[in-house]
């Protein structure tokens, strides 16, 4: 009993652990800069229903302006962010907000977008609050 009490006191004095689980340490989150409108298109490039909607809510919660949501004709294994406006730093922010994705240049001024996100099968939506 004394040993268990001593162990409890030692743990209490050490405080909370500073070591985060591996998955938490690897996850990098980013937000849109204040006062900047980054227009994003989100396309589901998988057969899993609802991933584009989940990615849209996730990006909007972080300040990105998701203007188009849809389904891609081609299937992908990994998520790709296409830089449409020539602002690679904005595409990188979108990629970081999604937990990391490859960024590719694909300028297209006719779309009036800054980035297109092709959600791949390997993307897992983070735990989100319940949206009724």
**102-121 pLDDT, tens per residue?**
999 999 988 899 999 999 99
Residue 110 in domain: yes
pLDDT score for 109: 84
Residue 81 in domain: yes
pTM of the predicted model, to two decimals?
0.74
CATH number at residue 115: 3.30.70.2390
Domain count along the chain: 1
Residue 7 in domain: no
- Alpha carbon separation from 71 to 11, 74, 106 (Å, rounded): 51, 9, 18
**Per-residue pLDDT band at 63 (split at 50, 70, 90):** very high
Residue 52 in domain: yes
Residue 132 in domain: no
Q: Which domain holds residue 86?
A: 35-124
Q: Which residue has the tokens 């001024």?
A: 109
Residue 3 in domain: no
- Alpha carbon separation from 7 to 29, 40, 48, 113 (Å, rounded): 36, 52, 48, 57
Distance of alpha carbon 49 from its chain centroid, rounded? 18
Q: How far apart are CA 78 and CA 101, in angstroms?
A: 8
């Amino acid at each position: 009993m004394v040993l268990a009490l001593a162990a409890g006191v030692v743990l209490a004095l050490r405080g909370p652990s500073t070591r985060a689980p591996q998955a938490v340490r690897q996850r990098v989150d980013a937000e849109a800069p204040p006062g900047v409108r980054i227009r994003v298109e989100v396309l589901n490039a998988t057969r899993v229903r609802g991933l584009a909607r989940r990615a849209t809510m996730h990006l909007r919660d972080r300040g990105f302006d998701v203007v188009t949501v849809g389904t891609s004709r081609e299937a992908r294994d990994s998520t790709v962010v296409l830089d449409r406006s020539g602002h690679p730093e904005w595409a990188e922010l979108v990629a970081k907000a999604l937990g990391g994705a490859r960024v590719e240049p694909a300028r297209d001024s006719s779309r009036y977008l800054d980035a297109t996100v092709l959600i791949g099968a390997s993307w897992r939506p983070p735990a989100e609050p319940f949206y009724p």
